């Protein structure tokens, strides 16, 4: 009997499996790139429902000048060695680590999960510049689940035209991400570009973002 049928008879929903990786790469100015594969994680709705329930989502506050403000999204970070909240995320991370092994030279080890409860939740312009990405090229892979939200990318202001690669795009890019979509930022992207998920007035529901990063990168 097939494993998936056995799982159903046992009452467990089968874990969604990542499809083979064949993302489309876009080269950006300054040696950055973005890979996108739409609908990479089949069964993403089941995974979304599962994560919504089992992840111990936490509200955080951060210091802004002289006062503490709520971070406008819920978070949960799984450090290196921690069990991920669903086998599908382990499979996804393994598959990404294999695919990017030659370029990255090390596995993806951590998982940061964010829950955007509605269109008022957001993350401001930033690059992941803690760790290796402050000085070296690296890779940050994002899997999106639930309601689609735009993720924007723009070059940092110091990125001069001389830093443009031959096919390097240098304007603001907008990717509407949801439903198992995969977006991977690579090359110099964390140093030379910034990304953000802006507030979105017409947004219909929650979105979960899962970010896989190498050791030490935040
Ligand atoms: O929501 C996303 O996909 C982006 C998350 C992000 O950039 C971050 O948490 O640093």
pLDDT score for 198: 96
Tokens of 173: 């890019």
Give the separation between CA 31 and CA 189, rounded to whole angstroms. 7
Give the separation between CA 216 and CA 218, rounded to whole angstroms. 6
pLDDT score for 150: 96
CA 196-82-213 angle, to 5 degrees, is 30
pLDDT score for 214: 95
pTM for this model (two decimals): 0.89
Whether 147 maps to a domain, the answer reads yes
pLDDT score for 65: 87
Task: Name, in order, each residue with C-beta under 8 angstroms of 72's C-beta and a sequence gap of 6 or more.
Answer: 120, 121, 122, 123, 199
Whether 149 maps to a domain, the answer reads yes
104 CB within 6 A, ligand 1: no
Domain that includes residue 31, residue range: 24-213
> What CATH number is attached to the domain comprising 65?
2.60.120.590
Whether 34 maps to a domain, the answer reads yes
211 CB within 6 A, ligand 1: yes
Nearest C-alpha to atom 10 of ligand 1 is from which residue? 128
Measured in Å, residue 218 CA sits from the centre of ligand 1 at 10
pLDDT score for 202: 85
Mutate to test the pocket of ligand 1, among 62, 142, 153, 198 (most ligand atoms within 8 A of CB): 142
195 CB within 6 A, ligand 1: yes
145 CB within 6 A, ligand 1: no
How many domains in the chain?
1
Tell the residue number behind the tokens 């690669």, with chain if given. 165
Measured in Å, residue 137 CA sits from the centre of ligand 1 at 18
Atom number of ligand 1 nearest to Cα 177: 3
110 CB within 6 A, ligand 1: no
209 CB within 6 A, ligand 1: yes
Each of the 218 residues of the chain gets a pLDDT tens digit; together they read: 333 444 444 445 556 678 899 999 999 988 999 999 999 998 899 999 999 999 999 998 988 888 899 999 999 999 999 999 999 999 999 999 999 999 999 999 999 999 999 999 999 999 987 776 677 899 999 999 999 999 999 998 876 544 444 456 768 999 999 999 999 999 999 999 999 999 999 877 999 999 999 998 77
> How far from 56 is each of 22, 44, 76, CA to CA, in Å?
32, 19, 7
Tell the residue number behind the tokens 């936490």, with chain if given. 58
Whether 218 maps to a domain, the answer reads no
108 CB within 6 A, ligand 1: no
Whether 90 maps to a domain, the answer reads yes
Q: Using the CB atoms, write b or e for 114-128: b if 16+ within 10 Å.
A: bbbeebebbbeeebb
Whether 7 maps to a domain, the answer reads no
pLDDT score for 66: 87
């Amino acid at each position: 009997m097939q494993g998936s049928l056995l799982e159903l008879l046992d009452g467990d929903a089968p874990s969604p499996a990542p499809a083979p990786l064949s993302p489309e790469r876009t080269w950006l100015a300054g040696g950055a790139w973005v890979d996108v594969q739409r609908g990479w994680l089949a069964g993403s709705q089941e995974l979304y429902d599962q994560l919504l329930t089992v992840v111990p989502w936490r509200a955080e506050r951060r210091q802004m000048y002289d006062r503490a403000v709520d971070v406008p999204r819920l978070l949960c970070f799984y450090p290196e060695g921690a069990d991920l909240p669903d086998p599908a995320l382990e499979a996804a991370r393994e598959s990404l680590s294999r695919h990017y092994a030659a370029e990255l030279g090390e596995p993806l080890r951590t998982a940061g999960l964010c829950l955007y409860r509605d269109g008022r939740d957001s993350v401001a312009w930033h690059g992941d510049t803690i760790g290796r990405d402050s000085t070296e090229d690296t890779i940050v892979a994002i899997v999106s689940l639930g309601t689609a939200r735009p993720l924007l990318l723009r070059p940092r202001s110091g990125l001069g035209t001389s830093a443009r690669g031959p096919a390097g795009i240098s304007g603001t890019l907008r990717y509407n991400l949801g439903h198992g979509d995969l977006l991977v930022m690579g090359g110099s992207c964390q140093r030379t570009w910034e990304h953000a998920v802006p507030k979105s007035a017409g947004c219909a529901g929650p979105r979960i973002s899962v970010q896989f990063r190498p050791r030490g990168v935040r």
